Amino acid sequence: MALAGLTACGAAGMATSTGGSAGGSAGDGAGGSVGTGAKVAGPSGSAVAALKDIPVKGRAPVTGYSRARFGPAWADTDHNGCDQRNDILRRDLQNETLKPKTHGCIVLSGTLVDHYTGKTIAFARSSAAAVQIDHVVALENAWVTGAFAWSATKREALATDPLNLLAADGPSNESKGSGDAATWLPRPAYRCDYVARQVAVKTKYGAWMTSAEHKAIAAILATCPKEKLPQVRTIPLGDSSGAGGSAAAPTTGAAGSRSPAREVTAGAFCAPEGATGVSKAGTAMVCSAKAGARARWRSAG
């Protein structure tokens, strides 16, 4: 699915998130934009206390779920003139290079210090599968824990909320799929931050948890009882010449610095939704579905 079109540069950027344990939650120390914007309203306080207020229920049927039920992929819901995917890349990457004449929006290259694996990963727009944008609360998980009954507007808000988005190692994101904390977790050093973010998202949107998910998160937070819910700030756009680096064409990075991009066939069926790859022609692709249809590989930009 094509990314939202670039319009005029907005005065306010997308929201980013800060806070968490002493080790730093996602976004802390990522790009130069982190922590520079104004705070955005959202849940705050103790993750342990917030978890106690989340209802525990069984999973609803997955019937009716599709990525399309959560709106266009990476829609510019904050209306800053830049799609949410590039907003998150600017927030989470270091030493990023921006495409000229895009009002500081489109990221051509950069480096991700990945929270999920601890690896340092080179990102290049021409081969974007190595770094993907993860929905911390997976959209299918949200569907079966309440989102099936939400309005289309509320579902799209969840899918594009920076509180629920992290740049992550591509293979780890694909391994996670639609899993919750009972079935998938990142490396131990990041688990307190990760589950606190899931608690914040489910608190903000009123989603529930299954018994297994709730118990898994409670067990992790018992090891970090002072963990706070992550807070959200706006993400400013970069400058039009490429803040954080040169505006030159992207490079692939040093040999061995990242896994080769996954080559895919445009239009072919794919899974999971949100996975990324590159076509034989070098076009960045994303696995996405239209209403009532199976997911296919479509252009990501």
| 259-277: pLDDT as tens digits | 344 666 888 776 666 667 6
Domain ranges, ordered by start, for the chain: 14-98+107-235
Q: How far is the C-alpha of 286 from the C-alpha of 301, rounded, in Å?
A: 9
Least confident window among 8-22, 106-120, 149-163: 8-22
User: What's the token pair of residue 256?
Assistant: 């061995």
More confident call, 246 vs 170: 170
Helices and strands counted in the chain (H then E): 7, 11
Average pLDDT, whole number, for the chain?
A: 80
Q: What is the pLDDT of residue 120?
A: 96
Q: Is the pTM of this model over 0.85?
A: no
Q: Is 301 exposed, middle or buried (0-12, 13-18, 19+ CB in 10 A)?
A: middle
Q: Say yes or no to pLDDT of 107 above 60.
A: yes
The β-bridge partners of 134 are: 166
| 275-284: pLDDT as tens digits | 676 776 767 7
User: What's the token pair of residue 162?
Assistant: 């920076």
| DSSP-based helix, strand, coil % in the chain, nearest 5 | 25, 20, 55
More confident call, 214 vs 271: 214
Residue 108 parent element (H or E): strand 107-113
- Measured from the Cβ of residue 159, the count of other Cβ atoms closer than 10 Å reads 25
User: What's the token pair of residue 97?
Assistant: 């290079």
Contact criterion met (CB below 8 Å) for 138 and 103:
no
Backbone phi, psi, residue 199, to 5°: -60, -45
Find all residues with CB under 8 Å of 297, minimum gap 6, and list them: 264, 265, 266, 267, 268, 270, 277, 279, 285, 286, 287
Confidence of residue 207 (pLDDT cuts 50, 70, 90): very high
HEC secondary structure over 191-258: HHHHHHHHHHHHHHHCCCECHHHHHHHHHHHCCCCCCECCEEEEECCCCCCCCCCCCCCCCCCCCCCC
